[in-house]
Amino acid sequence: MRVTQSMLSNNMLRNLSSSYNKMGILQEQLNTGKKVNRPSDDPVVVMKSLGYGMTVDKVAQYQKNLGEVNNWLDSSDDALDGVGQVLHRAKELATNAANTGAMTPEDRDKIKIEMKQLREQLQDLANTKVGDKYIFSGTATDKPLYGENGYPELSTDNTPPTINQTAYEKQVEIEVFDGVNLRVNTEAGAMFKQIDEVFKGIQDSVDNNTDDFDFSGAISSIEKNLDKVLTARADIGARSNRAELMDNRLQMQEGAAKKQRSENEDIDYEVVITELITSESIHRAALSVGARIIQPSLVDFLR
């Protein structure tokens, strides 16, 4: 086959264009730090990067959810700590009020005033909020546990959960991992209601100066509710520990996903720079050889 001058020229121009294109790709990789900058560069790498990116975003959302979990648990623990302090003081007042014969009218007035304040403090704790959500109201987070009509109808602690539960008695869960939900609310509505009734009984007894009120029973009820508060706080502590373990797990998964994404799409700068220098040298050599291949034209002779 006869090789013509036009064939040599066309081949040279095609090879030069390919060399320019390769150097352009390498230069773009150095500018962006990525192996691919558009899906057409390598669809497989792009799809893998999208998958790793979705994993990183999902982990970030779960970490935000864990922050919400910790807010609920910390606020619940602080509120129950306040309930414990109220109960301890109420027990002291109930013990003093039981000595009806030794109390003066002034003593009764002081106990009545303080019991009223303790009861109001308990009601405030029952309406503790995280952001705009009431944390002791079950799934009825937009409604206070203690409202204008007092506490809602709640089942006793000995009644097993049924499908007829009110929203105040249902659990609030937040997803912290694929298929893993953590309960964030503390079922304390019945306890708040029972304590409020005990306080009301002591307050009414002191107010009416009656001697037939069962103070020993009230003190016993306060002690039982103190135990319930401790049990609830222990449960909160256990859930906080689990939330911390989930946070560690999410951090590990986030690190693994970011590492895989980096290995999949990030360039090795040393390798790309070496390839660019090599391509540039080859391109210069091709230009030099091409200048020798192309025949001189009439213009060259005129110069």
Confidence of residue 266 (pLDDT cuts 50, 70, 90): confident
Which amino acid, 278? Answer: T
Q: How many helices (H) and strands (E) does the chain have?
A: 7, 4
**What does pTM read for this prediction?**
0.76
Q: Of 82, 67, 71, whose CA–CA distance to 233 is shortest?
A: 82
Q: Of 82, 94, 81, 103, whose CA–CA distance to 199 is shortest?
A: 94
Domains of the chain: 49-261 (1.20.1330.10)
224-251 pLDDT tens trace: 999 999 999 999 999 999 999 999 999 9
The pLDDT of residue 32: 82
DSSP 139-196: T-TTS-SSBTTBSPP---TTSPP-TT--GGGS--EEEEETTEEEE-----HHHHHHHH
d(CA 94, CA 211): 13
37-87 pLDDT tens trace: 887 777 888 888 888 889 899 999 999 999 999 999 999 999 999 999 999
Residues 6+ apart with CB under 8 A from 266: 33, 34, 35
**123: pLDDT strictly greater than 60:** yes
d(CA 190, CA 138): 12
